Amino acid sequence: MHLLFIFLALAVNAFPITEVLQERSSVDYFDPRERGGSLLDSSAGLGEPLNVIISGKSSPQILTPSGFLKYAQAVGFSDGCLGINTSGEQQANLGDGHGLVGTMALYRQSFGIPGLGSCLETFTGGSHFRVWKQDRPDANSGALFLAVSREENLAHKHTIAPNGYNIGRCVFLLQSSMKGFIIMSFNLKRYTTTIQDITNLLEPGSQGVNHGISQDGIVKLLTITIS
């Protein structure tokens, strides 16, 4: 039965999903706090920091589920073990008029083995992130907000590692080369990425943060262009 479930999941993933490309946004993002949202997602009464933003000024293809999956694979992540995710659902309010919504996707570190490497991460631990899109009428930037962290292994029930929010974000950027300006190629696509530090969105510290783990309050803003 388990093998049948995996086969059906892979078969569904094999069919292309029609995606509508928005025009390139004129803004990087809208501050969720200005419209009742938060830079912490909703998890067990507390929250995990949304510590990376993919700018709405990025190439429109990047801001679609399939386009962002390709970018995530390019920087060493994959969408679950064989495309199947079993992690608990979390919600976020991006202040775009839709209130708390579930994730667009969850990605795990793939250790250079797309599709299968994330199975290894499930057992050994590693970096992972959830994604939400700011696309409702009240704040339609198209930006992607990521909650990036590093988790412990299965024996520790995937709890967040000490300093795991800062470390997870740094691993995500290191796998993109941790420079202010990045050019990389993957699957015949060329990605150019610029990175900025945003320091006025998250309060540093552990107040309201899941597991009581302190974080430095820095949000990384990435603008990604495909050529």
Report pLDDT digits (tens) over 161-193: 999 999 999 989 887 764 445 556 566 788 888
- Give the separation between CA 23 and CA 53, rounded to whole angstroms: 18
pLDDT digits (tens, 9 = 90+) for 125-160: 788 899 999 999 999 999 999 999 998 877 666 689
Predicted pLDDT of residue 36:
95
pLDDT digits (tens, 9 = 90+) for 50-67: 999 999 999 999 999 999
Buried b or exposed e, range 125-143, using 16+ CB within 10 angstroms: bbbbbbbbbbbbeebbbbb
Q: Is the residue at 3 inside a domain?
A: no
Q: Is the residue at 68 inside a domain?
A: yes
Q: Is the residue at 147 inside a domain?
A: yes
- Give the separation between CA 192 and CA 71, rounded to whole angstroms: 11
Domain, as residue range, for 52: 27-226
pLDDT at 199 over 60: yes
Based on the structure, what is the number of domains in the chain?
1
Q: Is the residue at 17 inside a domain?
A: no
Q: Is the residue at 18 inside a domain?
A: no
Q: Is the residue at 121 inside a domain?
A: yes
Average pLDDT, the chain: 82
Q: Map residue 172 onto helix, strand or coil.
A: helix
Q: Is the residue at 148 inside a domain?
A: yes
The model carries a pTM of: 0.85
Q: Is the residue at 9 inside a domain?
A: no
